[in-house]
Structures are given as C-alpha cells and as structure tokens.
Amino acid sequence: MKMSRFKVDNGFLTLILVLAGISIVTIWHAKHAMGAGFQDHERMQTLFYVVGFVLAYIVMAVGTDLLYRNAYTIYIIGIISLIVLMIAPASIATPVNDTKAWFQLGPVSLQPSEFVKVAVILLNSHIINQFNENVVNATIQEELVLIIKVAIVAIIPSFFIFIQPDTGLILIIAIICLAQLYASGIRKMWFIVFFGVTFVVGGTIILLAINNPEALLPIFGNFAYRIRRIVMFVENSSHQLRYGMMAMGSGGMMGHGLGNVTYYIPFAHTDFIFTVFGAVFGYLGVAILFVILVTLDVKILQIGFSSYKKINRYTTAGILGMLLYQQIQNIGMCLGLLPITGITLPFISYGGSSLFSYMIAVGIIFTISNEQMLYRN
C-alpha cells in the first residue's frame, strides 16, 4: 500500500487550528475595545490564516532539504528587502508610529523583518550543521569562530532593523541565535559569559535611564523613546499598561463573556490582544490558554528533537526560542512584568506578515514531522 506523501502530527495541527479560532474570536472582540473605525479585522485574520496554511503546504511540498541548500540565497534576499525598505519612498513604505518597517502594496502591507527571522533560523542551522559535521571535539577557538559566524548572521539584519527602528525584533533574533547555539552543543561557559556581560551592560543602562537619562542620549540619539519605554516600565506609568490591566482585571474569574468588553484598550488587536482575551474569558480562560501554549511548545520540542537529522534540531531550537520568547515577553508586558516592546503574541495577535512567518515555521515543523513518519515506515 502506497503511503501518502504528506502526513503531519494531528495533535500539532489541532493546536494550530485551536489557536486560529482563539485569534479570530479575540480579534472580533477587540473592536469593542478599540472604538470606532476598527472593523473587519477578524475577517482579514481569517484570510491571513488561509494564506498561512497555503504557505505551510508549500514549505512541505518544497521540503527542508531545499530550504537548507538555499539558506544563503534566502538570507540575502531578506537583507536586500530590508535595504530596499530603508531607501524606499514614503509612497510604498509609509512610516507607522515613526517606524518604517512595512511595504504598503495597496490594501496589503508586508513587513520584511518578520520573514528575515525565518531566514536567520535556516542559515544558522546550515552553518551549525556544517560545523558539527566537519569538526570533532571542537576547541575553544573553533567554537569562537562558530559564534562569530552566527553573530554576523544576526548583526547584519539587526542593523537595518535598528534603523527602522524596531528593538523588539532585534531581541527576537538574538534569542533565536542563543537557542540555536545552545542546541549546537558548544561549551556552556559561552552562555555564562554572555549573560554576565548582558547583566552588567543592561543593568547600567536601566540605572542610567532611571537616574540620568540624558547620559544615554549621545548613545541612542534619536531613539530616545526607547529610554522612555524603560522608564515607563519601571515607574509603571504607561497608559497602555494601565488601560490593559484594568480591562483584564475587570474580567474576574469567568470574564465578561462574548461581545461584552467595553473597556478602551490601545492596540487591542495586536500588542495587547492578551488583555482582551483575559477580559472576555477571565482568569479561567487565561489558564486554559497557558495550557494550550505550553502544549504547543512541548509538541514542537518533541517533533523537532526526535528528528533523525541534527540540522532539524537546530532549526527547531530557533523556532521554539522565537515563539517562547514572544509568548513570555507579550504576556509579561501585558501583566506589567516586562517592558512594553511592541512584540505580539504568536498565532493570536492580528497581523499578516507576522502570522505568515509563524506559518512558514509551522510548515517546517510539519515537514519534520512528515519526514519522521516516512522514516519510521
């Protein structure tokens, strides 16, 4: 009996479909929190999911081997798109909230940096896999060369993303690289050194932002709003956060129910979609959502790290690092535990480019799952 070419983990597929339903329903409720002029986003999100599943199918049809072989080409295309965006006129790249990050193509907007995340994951996996295939019992110097290569892959797009500016995506790329390097098997001392330096430098910046923000102006220049975000987080003075937490707290244990959210929440359909969900479905609904997200992360870990190809494990580490960090950062900022960085909640927040990038990643996990099923049979 001939086996079907495409077989996926049904549990993983079910989780994605459940998150799609949660996303569309929550975005529909977000219109009540955004006021007049916010219409039809739930229909657009439905369309984005349809396109996203098509992209996932295309990735399965192409296969991960072809993606890895062309990782450099995909990465270069991503960098070129960032350069074109930087020099593009406002007619096709209109800044939104002082951030020039989207191409405006009629009614559709595309954010190249979202797709660059996937390009970074693929190229890093290719580089790490070549390293581990060619180097046995790597020395500290050889591992340092690998780290420098991965750092260069991250720094080039991060430079152009910083200019836009979009600090959140730079942090995501950094987490992706750290997760993939950890999966590569290099010495753990590198991570101790990295986090030690990050703690000292980051702590110094935060202290200056609180006590003497003017001292940071020569370093950050026109990006002073980033300092303001840090200060607002420390002082808990962000109006976005106050509105969001009031809305979520008002939901209580069971939530207001369908169609009953009346609190105003800025960016309710994107950055603060979690607060809308909490207001509608209450603390019980939030607990269920946590279980779904954790189950999704565990399922990705199981699929990716059971692969007979080590390169798939490095890719899975990057995808999982990307999703985990965004989940923690978005939920944390909505609860006032972390700074507001504009990072959305994967698979739930409204957005075409971000959802497309996640669904490409889903296509990669589907492909890894499919390869495993065919391999076992």
Residue type, 349: S
> What pLDDT score does 375 carry?
65
Q: Alpha helices of 335-351 — where are they, by DSSP H?
A: none
Q: Is the pLDDT of residue 45 over 90?
A: yes
Angle CA(332)–CA(277)–CA(38) in degrees, nearest 5? 110
pLDDT tens track for 137-153: 899 999 999 999 999 99
Q: Where are the domains of the chain?
A: 10-376
Asked if pLDDT for residue 332 goes beyond 80, the answer is yes
More reliable by pLDDT, 377 or 193: 193
Which residue has tokens 């007049």?
A: 36
What are 96's strand-pairing partners? 99
| The pLDDT value given to residue 157 | 96
More confident residue, 163 or 264: 163
Q: What is the pLDDT of residue 166?
A: 83
- For residue 171, give the nearest of 337, 338, 334, 362 by alpha carbon: 338
Centre a 10 Å sphere on the Cβ of residue 34 and count the other Cβ atoms it contains. 18
C-alpha torsion angle, residues 204, 208, 210, 212 (rounded to 10): 170
DSSP 39: -
Q: Is the pLDDT score of 12 beyond 90?
A: yes
How many CA atoms does the CB half-sphere of 313 hold within 13 Å?
A: 14
Q: How much is the pLDDT for 220?
A: 58
Residue recorded with tokens 């916010």: 38
How many whole angstroms separate alpha carbon 131 and alpha carbon 141?
13
Nearest CA among 357, 352, 356, 350 for reference residue 23: 350
How does pLDDT run across 80-124, given as a tens digit for each residue?
Answer: 999 999 998 888 888 887 788 888 877 778 999 999 999 999 999
208-248 tens-digit pLDDT = 766 666 666 666 554 545 655 555 555 555 666 666 777 77
180 confidence band (pLDDT: 50, 70, 90): very high
